[in-house]
Amino acid sequence: MTAKIPEWIEEVFERYLTAEFTYLDGEMPRTVAVLPYYDAKKKKILITTSPAFYKKVGCVKRNPKVCVLFSNSRYSGIGGNAVVLVQGIAKVNENIEENLHYLMNLMINYRDCWKKRVLEKMAEELMSPIVKWLMDWYVLRIVIEVKPKRLIFWKDGKIENRPEVLEVVD
């Protein structure tokens, strides 16, 4: 079935605190826990990483077919245990200055939820002089934009059952 991203799934993207991002390193899948953003205007999931972990970026540039799993509703304020797997195409933006402005604006306009508070708290912590000195490398972010192509989901979280599948239209 082909469709736009359902509203409840967009809410999952916005409010689930963490997700699991998988990319391919040759034939080996590599999965990392991430704190993703969702750009509701662009309909894209954003994974950010420091240039210190550039190996991941290199792999994504070589093979942009990735997936992002939203499997943990804890701290999201959303009832139930919906699990959503997004298969999509990734695009890397390495312009660090542009990314900083983009992410700041996105955060300011982000849906009011616990995740927004966590992101704000993290940003505040990074502003203290000592943390700024220690973590200057961490603040610089490369953005990996994931454009969803296919959504595989279990609204009730019962992963043992056959999932619903949606091919996403632009």
Residues at the interface with other proteins (CB under 8 A): 17-18, 20, 22-24, 27-33, 35, 50-54, 65-67, 69, 71-72, 75, 83, 85, 87-88, 114, 118, 121-122, 134-138, 140, 149-150, 152, 159-163
Contact 163, 71 (CB under 8 A): no
Taking the least distance from each CB to other proteins, the nearer of 7 and 137 is 137
In three-state secondary structure terms, 97 is helix
Minimum distance, C-beta of residue 78 to other proteins, in the bound complex (Å): 14
Rounded Cα distance between 131 and 127, Å, is: 7
Minimum distance, C-beta of residue 110 to other proteins, in the bound complex (Å): 15
Rounded Cα distance between 50 and 94, Å, is: 10
Taking the least distance from each CB to other proteins, the nearer of 7 and 70 is 70
Place of tokens 């990734």: 90
Rounded Cα distance between 63 and 135, Å, is: 29
Taking the least distance from each CB to other proteins, the nearer of 69 and 78 is 69
